[in-house]
Amino acid sequence: MAYAEAVFEVAVTYLMQGERGDAQILLGEKLTGLGAGKFVAPGGKLEPGESARDAAVREVFEEVGITVAAADLEQVATFDYVFPFRPAWSQRSTAFIARRWEGEARGSAELAPAWYSVDALPLERMWADARLWLHRVLAGERIAVECSYAADNDSVAAWDERVAER
């Protein structure tokens, strides 16, 4: 797999609140487009000339009405997702965590948000790869991954991971 196979770039942000024992993240049911019906973090495609960090700030505001400063985004993962049986879905994704922001989450045409305990994430309703990494990055790991999806476009066929530089 190689980044050159990616069709577009996206940025996603996991907003976190609370401490270890009661930590929560904001997820939302995707209402339209790629991944409709799945639970995802606020995020979306980078616009021309936009950095992943700037896209994350914009997408969080557009999808859930929360204002987060670029300086408050902590990059935790990068993914090269390859969908060999649906090449138009192949993408590079940058994941961030934010622990500071302003505003209250509200729904949009894209996302119906809700807070979930880190200890009880709805992984069965998320993309299959989330089971392999999400708890780990929420606990402080940083990763970079090449992930290939299977013919069903729903299960992981290959996972090539390395520890990301800090």
Q: What is the pLDDT of residues 30-82, one digit of tens each?
A: 999 999 999 999 999 999 999 999 999 999 999 999 999 999 999 999 999 99
- Residue 18's nearest CA partner among 138, 123, 164 is 138
Mean confidence (pLDDT) of the chain: 93
The band of 165, judged by pLDDT with boundaries at 50, 70 and 90, is: low
Q: DSSP assignment, residue 154?
A: S
Q: Which domains does the chain have, with CATH numbers?
A: 3-163 (3.90.79.10)
Q: What is the pLDDT of residues 8-44, one digit of tens each?
A: 999 999 999 998 779 999 999 999 999 999 999 999 9
Owner of token pair 């942000």: 13
Residue 162 is predicted with a pLDDT of 79
C-beta of residue 56 within 8 angstroms of C-beta of residue 43: yes
Whole-angstrom Cα distance, residue 109 to residue 49? Answer: 25
**43-45 and 143-149: which strand pairing?**
unpaired
